[in-house]
Amino acid sequence: EISACLVGSEMCIRDSTHGLKVSNLRNSSLYRMGVKPGYALTEINNTQIKKTEDLLNFNSSIKINQMMFVTPNGEKERLIFE
């Protein structure tokens, strides 16, 4: 199992069948937006994320404008940052 932490260890994720499952969330902004452990991160800036290796190809100098998550019950939620 591969895991990684994003945003200065504020969101820890693990590979899952639907994307990257959030296993730990210390980012209060994302939590207030409704993201909770068990959600799966599937897209960043319209780029599909299937496994932690995909994050290695993500250019960290580019501002994150949106993230797509799938809830544990299968609903998609898109967060848009301005």
For the chain of 82 residues, list the mean pLDDT of each consecutive stretch of 10: 45 67 72 83 89 77 87 90 80
The pLDDT of residue 51 is 82
Intra-chain end-to-end CA distance of the chain, in Å: 34
Contact criterion met (CB below 8 Å) for 43 and 49: yes
pTM of this prediction?
Answer: 0.74
As given in the structure block, the two tokens for residue 16 are 């899952």
